[in-house]
A and B are shown apart, each in its own frame.
Chain A
Amino acid sequence: MATPKTQITDSPAEYSDTKRAPLGRVRSTGTPFTRTIGIATIVSMATLAVFGLVLSPADVRQGDSVRILYIHVGTVWIAYVAFTVTAVSSAAYLWKRTRSLTWDRFAGASAEIGVLFMALTLFAGSLWGRLSWGKFWVWDARVTSTAFMFITYIGYLAVRGLGGSHQQRAKRSAVVALLAVLQIPLVHFSVKLWRGLHQDSSVADRTHVTLQGLMLFSLFVSLIAFSLLYLWLLIHRQRVLAMQDALDDKGLDYALQQRRDEGDL
């Protein structure tokens, strides 16, 4: 951003022929719909914090560490939803009749959110594991394949960042997203077989919690709050990506124009 600015101030006349792009008056990615979701998200997240930390009781067997689960279950739910959305959007992009870069941007936006939530899931999960199992990590099939999923989608995001045209990016990343769908069940299955030999996966069986009353309610609040949050983030991120692509397509014309308008004022 710094270079065009200096260019303009140095020689404004050079750009006088540039077609004046009519700059938009809409200055944000928000619409009444997303604002409603946003407010609902803030309210439900606050409710989650109050119920999760204060109002819900401690579990008889797990004690207060059950409070971590309200976050953990919500984030892992969103991570799985996000990766599913990525897979479906990628398939929609690859299918010729529905091919549109919008699907690709939904896939990318969803994967970014999914990676963040997967990281939070692993963080919350390992702290919870330390409290309930005494270990940050167990080589359980579910835990291990979750970590693999995290790495896989980091790789997916790296593929998105490889460069080339938008269509190249879209096709490459869509194929990688669909291969990930092939890969994750295989990894899960093989780790499960692998653990089966060692017979100490029973540590994971102590996760059973019977949720009742306020605890169950807190869990529902968590699912609703995180779902709303995901929706808000996805819509806004997709719009940002759409603008990013538009800006890439049209070169620096608009940016230059805008800087110049600022200079004129």
Chain B
Amino acid sequence: MEDIGFILAVYIATFGSVTALALFILRRGRRLAAQLPDEDKPWI
């Protein structure tokens, strides 16, 4: 496959940063949820 470096760079950057954001949001959510009572979690 020609230009494999560029193509892989795009796929890795995209999947990597998206995964990082998702994990960051989840961890942040866990940490905050542990500090708040259930009444402050409107989605329940």
Residues of A whose CB lies within 8 Å of any CB of B are: 21-31, 45, 49, 52-53, 58, 63-65, 67-68, 71-72, 75, 102, 113, 116, 120, 123-124, 127-128, 130-131, 229, 232-233, 235-237, 239-240, 242-244, 246-247, 250, 254-255, 258
Contacts and interface: CB of A to CB of B under 8 A. Distances in A.
Given A239-B29, A239-B43, 20 more contacts: A23-B36, A24-B33, A26-B44, A29-B26, A29-B29, A30-B26, A52-B11, A63-B3, A64-B1, A64-B3, A71-B14, A102-B42, A127-B9, A128-B10, A131-B6, A242-B40, A243-B32, A244-B32, A246-B40, A247-B40
Contacts of A113: 21
Contacts of B4: 64
16 contacts: A21-B37, A26-B38, A29-B25, A49-B11, A53-B7, A63-B2, A71-B14, A127-B10, A131-B3, A232-B22, A236-B26, A240-B25, A243-B33, A243-B41, A246-B40, A258-B34
Nearest to A242: B42
B25 A233 contact: yes
Name, among A65, A67, A113, A244, the residue most crowded by chain B CB atoms within 10 Å (CB to CB): A67
A102 B43 CA distance: 12
Contacts of B3: 63-65, 131
B6 A240 contact: no
A120 B17 contact: yes
Name, among A63, A243, A250, the residue most crowded by chain B CB atoms within 10 Å (CB to CB): A243
B24 to A, nearest CB: 9
A123 B13 contact: yes
B17 A240 contact: no
Contacts of A72: 10
A130 B6 contact: yes
Contact of B36 (A53, A67, A246): A246
A71 B2 CA distance: 18
A68 B37 contact: no
Contact of B14 (A26, A58, A75, A130): A75
A52 B40 CA distance: 42
B43 A27 contact: no
B2 A64 contact: yes
